[in-house]
Amino acid sequence: MTMLKSVRLAATATLLAAATTALAQETSPSDDVIATGRLRFERNCALCHGTDGRGFGPFLTQLNKKPPDLRLLSRNNAGYFPLKRVYDAIDGRMLPSSHGTTQMPIWGETFKSTVAGGSETLVRGRILELIMYLESIQADGGV
């Protein structure tokens, strides 16, 4: 199974779970997933990327390089949100060694160590929640 198929399958599972919850609470599934992604972002990413995603988190002075403005991912990709590139960057486990090291944590490993039984499906779900949140904060809305 290709990485893209795995991402799509995990996204479907995440959205299905959110839809079930949404039906019980009369809210939009994507709103619930985005809200969860926002909380996950605040817990895991905001120290470096800032609570608004602009790259001015409290750890900025401790980093060798300023984190990117995550609100500009679509704008910097011809108006399209670069889902696979963002997924790979967050997961971190599939980055080629030729890219060198990164200061960003390898969240795939971190999430895997914190989910019940190390479920790869739950890891993908957490990453996809983050991605849906990031897509929702794009400055230009993307295409």
Task: Give 80-115 pLDDT, tens digit per residue.
Answer: 999 999 999 999 887 655 545 566 778 888 888 887
State pTM to two decimals. 0.72
How far apart (Å, rounded) are the C-alpha atoms in residues 78 and 90?
Answer: 21
Residue 23 has pLDDT above 50, yes or no: no
Residues 131 and 90: beta-carbon distance below 8 Å: yes
Distances 111 to 37, 70, 94, 117, 133 between C-alpha atoms, Å: 13, 21, 15, 11, 17
**124-141 pLDDT, tens digit each:** 999 999 999 999 999 865
- The two three-digit tokens of residue 26, written as one number: 């009369």
Amino acid at 108: G
Predicted confidence at residue 138, as pLDDT, reads 96
Residue tagged 């290709």 (tokens)? 2
Q: What is the DSSP letter of 79?
A: T
How far apart (Å, rounded) are the C-alpha atoms in residues 111 and 80?
Answer: 27
